[in-house]
Amino acid sequence: MVGYSFMGAVHSHAWRTAPRFFDLPLAPKLTALAGRNAAAAQAAAAKLGWDSVESDWRRLIERDDIDLIDICSPGNTHAEIAIAALEAGKHVLCEKPLTNSVAEAEKMTAVASSAAERGVYSMCGFTYRRTPALALAKRMVDEGRLGDLRHVRAQYLQDWLSDADAPLTWRLDKAKSGSGSLGDIGAHSIDAAQWITGSNITGVSALMETFVKERPIGGDFVGLGGHRGADGPRGPVTVDDAAIFTARFGGKTPDGGDPAIAGGGTTAVGRSTYGGPIGVFEATRFALGRKNAMRLELNGTLGSLAFDFEDMNSLSFYDASDEDAGFRRIIVTEPSHPYVGNWWPTGHGLGYEHGFTHQVVDLVNAIAEDRQPEPSFSDALQVQKVLAAVEASAEAESRWQKV
């Protein structure tokens, strides 16, 4: 594993936990942890359960006792590490977003495609797919219980940056993070919406804002639960604090064919000539009182679904055929629900960390079965293209931007 902070800790927990609750065809072994600060990496390895430490990630690539590289470092490092690992014949799990640019994501996807032909696989870590309630929502949409989708409503609301004196971190540096709330949390909403609907976003109109344009330099503020920084020099914030955009999803022509082949498309103002749903997306780290409100609502011709990660063990469902009822709450803790049967008795909910454990389970099973795990780098590239289109639209005063 490369990196050992927030994501490194939760990934380590997942690698340790997965084989204890799921019967895996391969046994994960936490062989080596890489970090530039050797002393800090050694302390993290001892705490998180890794057998050895490297101060240069390249040593991981060279070692014969390592089969998979788990990338938990900032976005500007992903491409170099992932490409080197795949070319060396090692499987890759890469945190989202895939990288900081479409060009790099395309290179990573091309290398991943070539590696897959040799049985070397890669996956991007959009772990909200593994939340049982969202996985159930995906199942219900696939079963046709919502009918034809009309609306997608997605929000990701946090408040940990609302203090204007919170110090600068790498997440506020575009060169390292790629973008702010858009790429950090909005990417999750984009992936979840495209995955559950089975449709890609084809165009966007966006607005982005940086509320606090300078922050104190220094301090040990690391994000969630951070504190006020010391007085002194301030540096520029080079990413967005909030992003809002409308979206058009691809649809099908009446005969079920490819709308591009049939001459479908969008007009200058983004109105579709074929039938995909329309969407509204919001991502911010300035919504006071919202800690991790990753929300998704879908409205179709036969029903609706609504989810909020701050109530992650439930899913709201409205069946239009029942005229006397509103939304009903499904408690997603039954053994028949996705992933749940390997955990606790009915009614005993799961938490944030379980999605990462399920990610390990799905990845290990795919590798053992010699098949491509999902989401693939190609799926992540599509998300990267949407992120780029949102930024381009915002820079062009919200002008409609095709993806």
Least confident of 179-193, 223-237, 372-386: 223-237
Between 1.10.260.40, 2.102.10.10, 3.40.50.720, 3.55.40.20, what CATH number should domain 6-128 receive? Answer: 3.40.50.720
- Is residue 168 within 8 A of residue 237, CB to CB? The reply is yes
Q: How many CA atoms lie within 13 A of 231 on its CB side?
A: 0
- Is the CATH code 3.30.360.10 the one for domain 129-350+377-395? yes
Q: What is the pTM of this model?
A: 0.91
Q: Do the beta carbons of residue 57 and residue 81 sit within 8 Å? A: yes
Band (pLDDT 50/70/90 cuts) for residue 228 is: very low
Query: What average pLDDT does this structure show over 58-65?
Result: 98
CB 285 within 8 A of CB 166: no
> pLDDT tens across 249-303, in order?
996 433 344 443 333 343 344 443 447 999 999 999 999 999 999 999 999 999 9
Contact 246, 184 (CB under 8 A): no
* pLDDT at 231 (0 to 100): 62
Is residue 365 within 8 Å of 82, Cβ to Cβ?
no
Residues 6+ apart with CB under 8 A from 34: 1, 2, 3, 41, 53, 54, 55, 56, 57, 59, 60
β pairing state of 122-125 and 91-95 = parallel
Domain boundaries, the chain: 6-128, 129-350+377-395
